[in-house]
Amino acid sequence: MTRIKDVAALAGVSTATVSRVLNDKTVSPDLAAAVRRAVTELGYTPNRTARSLRRQHSELIALVLPDIENPFFTSLARGVEDVARTAGLSVVLCNTDEDVETQEHYLRIADDENMAGVIVAPAGPSGFLARLTERHRAVVVVDRAVADDVDQVLFDNEDLGRRATQALLDRGHRRIACVTGPRETPTAEARADGWRAALTAAGLPAPDDLLVHANYRVDGGEAAMTRLLAAAEPPDAVLATNNLVGVGALRMLSAERGPRAQLGIIGDLPFATSHIDDTFLLRLHPREMGLTAARLLVSRIRGEAGPAQRVVQPSRPVLLGASPS
């Protein structure tokens, strides 16, 4: 079995230098290159158990998401994995199905298994995040803000709701409905607040009958749009605050032979629908969110100190069927 001292002898360096290279510590480029050549030539594989004991954590990170079937979170996960793999870390994917108890179960496992860190899109308030930080685990929250003093990568959700509604107002619409997620989801409430603020600023009412809370899935969008189109006074435009809700709303609009409504969607369309003409999108770039979150996590795992960071991701409006703005 090749040992670390064999690598050191071939590279012409000390075993301490080999260890520094293998643990991503600062070493001169020439020495680092010599160590990597020796590792490759000898086929050396580090003892991961021993490394974990020295580091006091494993080479695993937990990625805790509310719905991995949602393409938004799939794309986010890809960004996390791309960074983690480059940093020599492996990702354990955990799906909570928007259930807080399941979330706490996975966070407890991450702690019990001595994982290096956690990236989580919270299904709800978590009492376990404080325990993780107290035990010096690296934690990054994505997509949904929390009160905990941890790194967070977020969207300005109220601004997203406001901007998307304003885009529909600019197209001449005045009776604009909002289909958002469950009341207990912070992003859903914040985007609805932005919708309400834009209408109020335009001197228009935001009545309760134009605000529909739905599950964040395709059938939720279908059911919400069915309800809105059946109203005595249907809306002339609808804001869908989530990608899958937007798909469901478009499906219903395509099947509906009565009055149509223009649609604004926060998030990309994850798969084709039968009617997308003149549909306004406010794209969120979830893979970028995953990349940013993973970079923050890796820097914390490697010992970067300092106050918790709050990173707000940008978004970009696109009108389908026209050139991006």
More confident residue, 102 or 54: 102
Q: Indicate the angle between helix axes 15-22 and 29-42, nearest 10 degrees.
A: 90
Q: Is CATH 3.40.1410.10 what the domain over 55-155+286-313 is classified as, yes or no?
A: no
Residue 121 — left, alpha, or beta (φ > 0 → left; ψ -120 to 50 → alpha)? beta
Residue holding tokens 């941890």? 150
What is the rounded CA–CA span in Å between residue 169 and residue 160?
14
Q: Supply φ then ψ for residue 202, to 5 degrees.
A: -90, 5
What's the pLDDT at 53?
Answer: 39
The strand ranges marked E within the chain are 60-65, 90-95, 117-120, 138-142, 151-154, 176-180, 211-213, 237-240, 262-266, 280-283, 310-312, 316-319
Q: Regarding beta strands 151-154 and 176-180, do their DSSP bridges make them parallel or antiparallel, or are they unpaired? A: unpaired
Q: Is the pTM of this model over 0.85?
A: no
What is the rounded CA–CA span in Å between residue 128 and residue 121?
13
What is the rounded CA–CA span in Å between residue 83 and residue 5?
30
CB neighbours of residue 8 within 10 Å: 19
What's the pLDDT at 67?
Answer: 93
What is the rounded CA–CA span in Å between residue 246 and residue 9?
61
> Out of 56-60, 124-128, 243-247, which region has the weakest mean confidence (pLDDT)?
56-60
Question: Tens of pLDDT along 301-325?
Answer: 988 888 999 999 988 777 664 433 3
Amino acid at 52: S
Q: Which helix (H) or strand (E) element contains residue 37?
A: helix 29-42
Q: Is CATH 3.40.50.2300 what the domain over 157-283 is classified as, yes or no?
A: yes
What's the pLDDT at 256?
Answer: 66
In 47-174, alpha helices (H): 48-55, 71-86, 100-112, 128-134, 157-170
Question: Tens of pLDDT along 144-195?
Answer: 999 899 999 999 999 999 999 999 999 999 999 999 999 888 899 999 999 9
The yes-or-no verdict on residue 98 having pLDDT over 60 is yes
The strand ranges marked E within 253-314 are 262-266, 280-283, 310-312
Q: Which helix (H) or strand (E) element contains residue 194?
A: helix 186-201
Coil, strand or helix: which one is 93? strand
Listed in sequence order, the residues at least 6 apart from 281 whose beta carbon sits closer than 8 Å to its beta carbon are 264, 265, 266, 267, 268, 269, 317, 318, 319, 320
> What tokens appear for 254 in the block?
């395509």
Average pLDDT for residues 134-141, to the nearest whole number?
A: 91
Nearest one of 246, 271, 259, 267 to 315, comparing CA atoms: 267
Domain 157-283 in the same topology as domain 55-155+286-313: yes
Average pLDDT for residues 280-300, to the nearest whole number?
A: 94
Coil, strand or helix: which one is 95? strand
What's the pLDDT at 293?
Answer: 98
Domain ranges of the chain: 4-46, 55-155+286-313, 157-283
Average pLDDT, the chain: 87
What's the pLDDT at 300?
Answer: 93
More confident residue, 269 or 92: 92
Average pLDDT for residues 91-109, to the nearest whole number?
A: 94
Q: Supply φ then ψ for residue 34, to 5 degrees.
A: -65, -40
CB neighbours of residue 49 within 10 Å: 9
